[in-house]
Amino acid sequence: MTTATATPPRGRLADAQVKLSDRIGEPTFKALCALAALIAVAVIIAIAVTVFSNAGTSISHFGLAFLGHSTWNPVTSVFGAAPMIYGTFLSSVLSLVIAVPMAILIAMYLTELAPGWIQRPVAILVELLAALPSVILGLWGIAILGPFMINTLQPFLHSFLSWIPLFSGTYNGLSMLSAILILTIMVLPIITSITREVFATTDGSIKEAAYALGATRWEMMRMTVLPVARPGIVGAVILGLGRALGEAVAVTQVIGNANQISSSLFAQGTTIAAQIVNQFPNASPGIERSSLMYLGAILLVISVIVNIIGRLIIHRGEVR
């Protein structure tokens, strides 16, 4: 008499395999995620330690007075960061002043106004603009934007707004205004792409409710989409500001690299990133190279502060 060996049902085997994969896969997945996060934190800490340790000589020698001095003279070993800090803030902030309204309007057009056949091609072109190498934009700034600035834009602005210090002075193709326009072109697609995605994910029922109450398209956008999308817009602006603060190659090609503080946008200037790119390859070891690392430390601190402020603004908007 032969006895058949009892086999467990297929459903129980499948359940056992699922439970085994859960027991192995879930902890492994959590460990990999934690490891990736720790690596990111470790890289940031390593960068900060490297920058500040190499800047130690200049920090101990100049102290906080480094932030207010305008002289950068390797011969006499006298260095100051005031023109670079001024140029960095001026170019970054003014580029955002131009780019943010344009980005919001473009995002509104693509999500609410543009016909279907034009939405996708324009969105792709905007994203392609964000992928352009900065050196290409710099070359375009030298070859096309510079002559346009001297022959057309700067005379036009001077003729109507010369009473404002920002638009006074002599014309120059390599200028702070050229750097601002280049940065505007660079940050515009970043802010536009993120803002468009935020607008597109807004709950359609909210829009329909606004229309049902008799709101126009603009009133619907102002009362429903913009308030809901505010945290996302702030995040996009912070990303754009980070790009503007740290951009070096394109800005170096069009700003003129003059170590000065001028109230006119027609004058040449410099930024922290541009100064590092220009001076570091030929900098002598010692106080000069340490001063350039000090500039890097300042830019790192500025970036951290900007991101913290952005996170606080986003958190405040989410709480409301």
* DSSP codes of every residue in 205-270: HHHHHHHHTT--HHHHIIIIIHHHHHHHHHHHHHHHHHHHHH--HHHHHHSB------S-TTS-B-
Residue 72: helix, strand or coil by DSSP? strand
pLDDT digits (tens, 9 = 90+) for 46-74: 999 999 999 988 999 888 888 888 888 88
Q: Is the pLDDT at 317 greater than 70, yes or no?
A: no
| Residue 11 pLDDT | 55
Q: Does domain 82-282 have CATH number 2.160.20.10?
A: no
Give the pLDDT band (50/70/90) at residue 16.
low
Lowest mean pLDDT segment, chosen from 7-21, 22-36, 165-179, 248-262: 7-21
What is the Cα–Cα distance from 170 to 151, expressed in whole angstroms?
12
The domain ranges of the chain are 82-282
**Contact in structure between 185 and 277 (CB atoms under 8 Å):** no
The model's pTM: 0.84
Instruction: Identify the CA nearest to 94 among candidates 166, 195, 142, 164.
Output: 166
Kindly report, residue by residue over 76-111, the tens digit of the pLDDT: 888 888 999 999 999 999 999 999 999 999 988 888
Q: What is the DSSP string of 252-284?
A: HHHSB------S-TTS-B--HHHHHHHHGGGPP
Burial of 60 (0-12, 13-18, 19+ CB in 10 A): exposed
Question: What is the tens place of the pLDDT at every residue in 229-278?
Answer: 888 888 889 888 988 888 888 898 899 888 888 888 888 889 999 999 88
